[in-house]
């Protein structure tokens, strides 16, 4: 299973999202550090809309996702961009 698939599965199980996009942006970051080639799964963006986020602050939403994905971050995921929303909230995507 790819890292992207694993993240999608975890987020789906934890938050039952109405909308979920997990985007591998690793290729956009090639060369910004000597060991970052742009290959693989080092940089991910999560766009998620879930009723679970209703009433939560933006910071609380980020923390919930980051804590859920802590094992992936500890195992080498270099960067995680998070764009969470509750249903009905405006999004830029």
For residues 88 and 5, what is the distance between their CA atoms, to the nearest angstrom? 26
Write the CB contacts of 13 (distance below 8 Å, at least 6 apart in sequence).
none
* 1-18 tens-digit pLDDT: 899 999 999 999 999 999
* 22-56 tens-digit pLDDT: 999 875 655 565 565 545 677 899 999 999 999 99
Phi, psi of 79 (to 5 degrees): -145, 140
pTM of the model: 0.85
């Amino acid at each position: 299973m790819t890292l992207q698939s694993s993240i999608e599965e975890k987020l789906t199980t934890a938050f039952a999202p109405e909308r979920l996009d997990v985007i591998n942006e690793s290729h956009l970051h090639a060369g910004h550090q000597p060991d970052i080639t742009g290959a693989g799964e080092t940089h991910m963006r999560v766009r998620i809309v879930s009723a679970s986020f209703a009433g939560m602050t933006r910071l609380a939403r980020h923390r919930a996702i980051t804590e859920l994905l802590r094992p992936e971050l500890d195992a080498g995921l270099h960067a995680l961009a998070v764009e969470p929303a509750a249903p009905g909230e405006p999004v830029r995507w």
